[in-house]
């Protein structure tokens, strides 16, 4: 499990395309300082397993399904990535519950800088919009953020906005955010569990998890 508090801005140093997979080597001196073979590290919000370590770098193998369902397919040497180690038991919980399981890919619609913060609008996949609420939590490329606004219009479809402080811009890859860039999204898992437990969105009289209809 992760918290969405990015520990380090790493860099992809190599990519090898394999049969229905890709192997990435990523530089991250901080996250590798105490890492071991088999540990989990979130890369742009995707939970990946360390397969090799050395000289402040680590290697991960990414299967085709993960490449197709996330923005990792666009990464190549020189790409900046957000890195976070799995949360240690007893550690501080600075963000929110993040599993490292991408729910969908959004597209940055606009970036609006101001003196003290920058507002980023992200187009949402239609199937995720019901899980997003104003002042709720969202994970964008592995960053735990608070939703500052939501909406839907003809130009962008469903969208959300987040307001980024200078520290977030400096310490994460959202500092390079530009319209058209694809980003990994993970919605608050609590919303998904609540929907499942209440049967929200199910047809009337459908029953839930094998329970008989009344």
Which H helix or E strand runs over 118?
strand 118-123
Query: What is the per-residue pLDDT for 4?
Result: 92
pTM higher than the cut 0.85: yes
| HSE (side-chain half, CA atoms, 13 Å) at 63 | 5
Identify the sign of the CA torsion 47, 48, 53, 54: negative
Low-confidence ranges of the chain (pLDDT < 70): 200-214
Q: Are 28 and 6 in contact (CB under 8 A)?
A: no
Q: Using CA atoms, how far apart are residues 189 and 95, in angstroms rounded to an integer?
A: 13
Q: Which domains does the chain have, with CATH numbers?
A: 8-85 (2.40.30.20), 104-198 (2.40.30.20)
């Amino acid at each position: 499990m992760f918290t969405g508090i990015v520990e380090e801005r790493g860099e992809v140093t190599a990519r090898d395309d394999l049969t229905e997979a890709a192997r990435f080597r990523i530089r991250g001196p901080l996250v590798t300082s105490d890492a071991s073979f088999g540990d989990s590290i979130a890369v742009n919000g995707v939970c990946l397993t360390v397969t090799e370590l050395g000289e402040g770098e680590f290697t991960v193998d990414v299967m085709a399904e993960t490449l197709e369902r996330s923005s990792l397919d666009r990464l190549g040497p020189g790409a900046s990535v957000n890195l976070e180690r799995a949360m240690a038991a007893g550690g501080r919980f600075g963000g929110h519950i993040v599993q490292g399981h991408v729910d969908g890919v959004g597209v940055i619609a606009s970036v609006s800088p101001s003196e003290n913060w920058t507002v980023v609008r992200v187009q949402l996949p239609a199937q995720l919009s019901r899980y997003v609420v104003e002042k709720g939590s969202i994970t964008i490329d592995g960053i735990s953020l608070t939703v500052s606004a939501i909406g839907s219009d003809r130009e962008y479809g469903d969208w959300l906005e987040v307001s980024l402080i200078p520290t977030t811009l400096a310490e994460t890859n959202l500092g390079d955010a530009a319209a058209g860039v694809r980003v990994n999204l993970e919605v608050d898992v609590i919303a998904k569990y609540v929907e499942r437990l209440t049967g929200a969105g199910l047809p009337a009289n459908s029953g839930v998890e094998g329970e008989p209809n009344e």
